[in-house]
Amino acid sequence: MAHAEQITDRCSYHGEGPFWDEQRSRLRFVDMLAGDVVTLLPNGRVTRRHVDDIAAVIRARDDGGYVVAVERGFALLDADWNREATVQVFDSPEIRMNEGGCDPQGRLYCGSMAYAATPGAGALYRLDPDRTARTVLTGVSIPNGLQWSADGARAFHTDTTTGIVAVYDFDADQGLLLDPRPFITIDAADGAPDGCAIDDEDGLWIALWGGAGVRRYDSTGALTEVIELPTTNVTACTFGGPGSSDLYITTSMENVDADAEPAAGAIFLAPVEARGVAQHGFAG
């Protein structure tokens, strides 16, 4: 059982959606409910930039700049963080974006959920490079943890309330998730599956909301490694650093006693033997 090192002070209320910005060699993530993009600089300093009422996930654009899933859609930003365009996907004030990622073809997906976490109120949306948005899945509650296998043939997606990480056949031409079936089921006593990362052996590293840790499951779904953290709500993880062998882990202060858990909202780093798969960028 491994342990992660705390590498920042508390720097977010609800840290989520981390990605390693390869071009600039730094970690970026979101303080989701504050609507901020947070950056961990190579010197250890943390900066933040307000983007919208909600900032759910951030990815780099292949031609420069970033795309951020915001409260009800997507914001396209240039390299200087100026907003080029907004793509609104829905208009309900009761729903917000939550978590997502890019497929190998450069399309961005993000799931939505009700502020009240109403069962089945969310959906998974896809933003194509031509800046059109389409619905991919419906009837989800708290969508999280979207990753693709190294060969791009399978996609893994979590509905946190179910405790199930599902695996789908991925239609690369159409950008569709097909034939869902359970890949991993996590007992509620161990926490709920949240965001995840994938390594080059298709090992899935899953953050455990309420479970104070990260678990690795191999390509068959067998548990192979556990990383413990000193805070309850672990939200997501991503590979980065030299050789993509550092696992960065985000955490949340939401629903915890901040005095009892001073590390809640901090970033953790776990050096691991696995090598991560680089996160795909957005092609639009």
The answer to whether residue 66 sits within a structural domain is yes
Token pair 């309330």: residue:
161
192 in Cβ contact with 209 (< 8 Å)? yes
278 class by beta-carbon count within 10 Å (0-12 exposed, 13-18 middle, 19+ buried): middle
Whole-prediction pTM value?
0.96
The answer to whether residue 278 sits within a structural domain is no
Nearest Cα to 231, choosing from 198, 195, 191, 199?
Answer: 191
The answer to whether residue 280 sits within a structural domain is no
The identity of residue 29, as a single letter, is F
The string of pLDDT tens digits covering residues 196-240 is 999 999 999 999 999 999 999 999 999 999 999 999 999 999 999
The answer to whether residue 17 sits within a structural domain is yes
Going by pLDDT thresholds of 50, 70 and 90, the confidence category of residue 247 is very high
The string of pLDDT tens digits covering residues 257-275 is 989 999 999 999 998 989 9
The answer to whether residue 174 sits within a structural domain is yes
The identity of residue 78, as a single letter, is D
Distance CA 33, CA 230 (A): 22
Q: How are beta strands 2-3 and 223-228 bridged, if at all?
A: parallel
Quote the domain boundaries for residue 150: 2-271
Going by pLDDT thresholds of 50, 70 and 90, the confidence category of residue 245 is confident
Distance CA 221, CA 50 (A): 38
Under DSSP, the state recorded for 102 is E
β-partners of residue 10 are none
30: domain CATH number is: 2.120.10.30
Nearest Cα to 184, choosing from 176, 194, 174?
Answer: 194
What is the number of structural domains in the chain? 1
The string of pLDDT tens digits covering residues 99-126 is 999 999 999 999 999 999 999 999 999 9
The answer to whether residue 188 sits within a structural domain is yes
The answer to whether residue 276 sits within a structural domain is no
Distance CA 227, CA 210 (A): 14
Given phi > 0 = left and psi -120 to 50 = alpha, else beta, which region is 105? Answer: alpha
The answer to whether residue 282 sits within a structural domain is no
The string of pLDDT tens digits covering residues 160-196 is 999 999 999 999 999 999 999 999 999 999 999 999 9
Encode 85-112: b = buried (16+ Cβ within 10 Å), e = exposed.
eebebbeeeebbbbbbbbbeebbbbbbb
